[in-house]
Amino acid sequence: MKKVNRYHHKKILVLGLAKSGVGAAALLHKLGAFVTVNDYKPLSENPEAQNLLEQGITVICGGHPMELLDEGFELIVKNPGIPYHNPMIKEATQRGIPILTEVELAYQISEAPFVAITGTNGKTTTTTLLADILEAGDKAPLIAGNIGTVASVVAEEASAKNTIVIELSSFQLMGIDEFKPKISILTNLYDAHLDYHGTREEYVAAKANITRNQTESDYFIVNSDQDEVMKVATQSKASIIPFSTKRVLDKGAYVENGWICFNGEKIMETKDIVLPGAHNLENILSSVIAAKLLGVHNEAIYMVLNRFAGVKHRLQYIGEVKERRFYNDSKATNILATQNALAAFDAPIVLLAGGLDRGNDFDELIPALNKVKAIVTFGQTAPKIEDIAKRSGIKMIQRVDNVEKAVPEAFQLSEPGDVILLSPACASWDQYKTFEVRGDIFIAAVHKLK
């Protein structure tokens, strides 16, 4: 860990806990800051806050009192999930108090370079896949961010021999200042989190922060099949390395005659790739570029892509029951992710879908339902999804209370050779704390069938 003196004896407010808040508070305390933690959850129900209190950190729980800002804080490190229209954040901004997310602290103390990955879809798969390839190539990767250990904790442990591979959300990227990855990846851009950002323009601007501080000696890997992504690339000072699943490129990664290629070099044949789904080619191509930039040999890339079957909750193969194949795609929290999942299969599909109603219109899903023979719905959006199912000509439509009940119902509607797919197209929060909880319940229900 680098020695950082900038926070010594500085008054800092950590707003909102969860893992990132705990990590930030503990790190700032080590760096000699006068830390105050403020979390909405009452102290009696807040073991993380109790632990910080035992470390000698000031803790205020049970609400966000506005008068807290009168204590002269020189910095706020906020939980990424707290929006900027939060009254306390708005007031702090008006007072000129800098606001960061924990990722910025991690960058400031890290001896290891960062490979940072963002985008609407594909972040988790790309992060996991690239880390696996770097591991096979003896590059000592450490995974951080949304799918791994909190970035500041990883950065404390990392040495210059490591490479930190980090998945970053738009929420996290809004709170950076100096953060500068050696390699950044923008997988794609679609509508998402507009309830947080307000407009698509604000959302895209947040994603673009991943390359904001990069220079000519850094690399920005971009999806050249999307004009909006390429527009972001024009704002970057980094060396732009594109990828495309649709055409051959003069520079970058692409598919040609059944081969994954990089800068004209054949890496491996696509028939040897295990990961299902045409959309995953984007994740594969961006991972190949980053791996090649970091000096990984083709043999290591081949070895990983020949066995990598995906990450948990993202088109995860669970197993077969009486000739029906079960897939867990609980991380499909938006329409596009479900469209991609449905496109990955040629067999008839029984789809399990539903969840939190964010006011979305599901009409965009209709063209993707051509292989769906039956739908089992649950959650707030069940009526909307049933409506598009009927308009798509799907005859077998059943509503159930939850995912656990959806699995046996889907099995009853299926036949040997079918795919039974949980791909909700919605967030989980109407019934489940996280999409991981939703996916785990699906997995348990499948095993119960066995």
Residue 199, annotated ligand binder? no
Binned at pLDDT 50, 70 and 90, residue 128 comes out as: very high
Q: Check residue 314 and give its pLDDT.
A: 86
Q: What is the pLDDT of residues 313-366, one digit of tens each?
A: 988 889 899 999 999 999 999 998 999 899 989 899 999 999 999 888 899 999
Full DSSP string of 335-389: HHHHHHHHHT--S-EEEEE-----S--GGGGGGGGGGEEEEEE-STTHHHHHHHH
Cross-strand bridge partners of residue 145: 167
Q: Check residue 192 and give its pLDDT.
A: 64
Q: Which residues lie closer than 8 Å to 201 by C-beta, 6 or more apart?
A: none
* Strand 58-61 relative to strand 183-186, pairing: unpaired
Residue 121, annotated ligand binder? yes
Residue 193 has pLDDT above 70, yes or no: no
Residue 417, annotated ligand binder? no
Q: Decide which of 192 and 4 is more confident.
A: 4
Q: Check residue 146 and give its pLDDT.
A: 76
Q: Check residue 265 and give its pLDDT.
A: 97
Q: Check residue 194 and give its pLDDT.
A: 65
Residue 263, annotated ligand binder? no
Please give the mean pLDDT across all residues of the chain: 95
Residue 386 has pLDDT above 80, yes or no: yes
If you search the block for the tokens 């700032």, which residue do you land on? Answer: 28
Residue 148 has pLDDT above 80, yes or no: no
Per mean pLDDT, which range of 129-143, 206-220, 328-342 is the poorest? Answer: 328-342
Q: Check residue 130 and give its pLDDT.
A: 98
Q: What is the pLDDT of residues 401-444, one digit of tens each?
A: 999 999 999 999 999 999 999 999 999 999 999 999 999 999 99
Which letter, b or e, does each residue of 94-103 get, where b requires 16 or more Cβ atoms within 10 Å of its Cβ?
A: eeebebbbbb
Residue 62, annotated ligand binder? no
Residue 128, annotated ligand binder? no
Q: Decide which of 274 and 141 is more confident.
A: 141
Helix, strand counts (H, E) of the chain: 16, 20
Q: What is the pLDDT of residues 260-276, one digit of tens each?
A: 999 999 999 999 998 88
CA distance 188 to 311: 19
Map out the domains of the chain with their CATH numbers. 11-100 (3.40.50.720), 103-305 (3.40.1190.10), 316-449 (3.90.190.20)
Residue 122, annotated ligand binder? yes
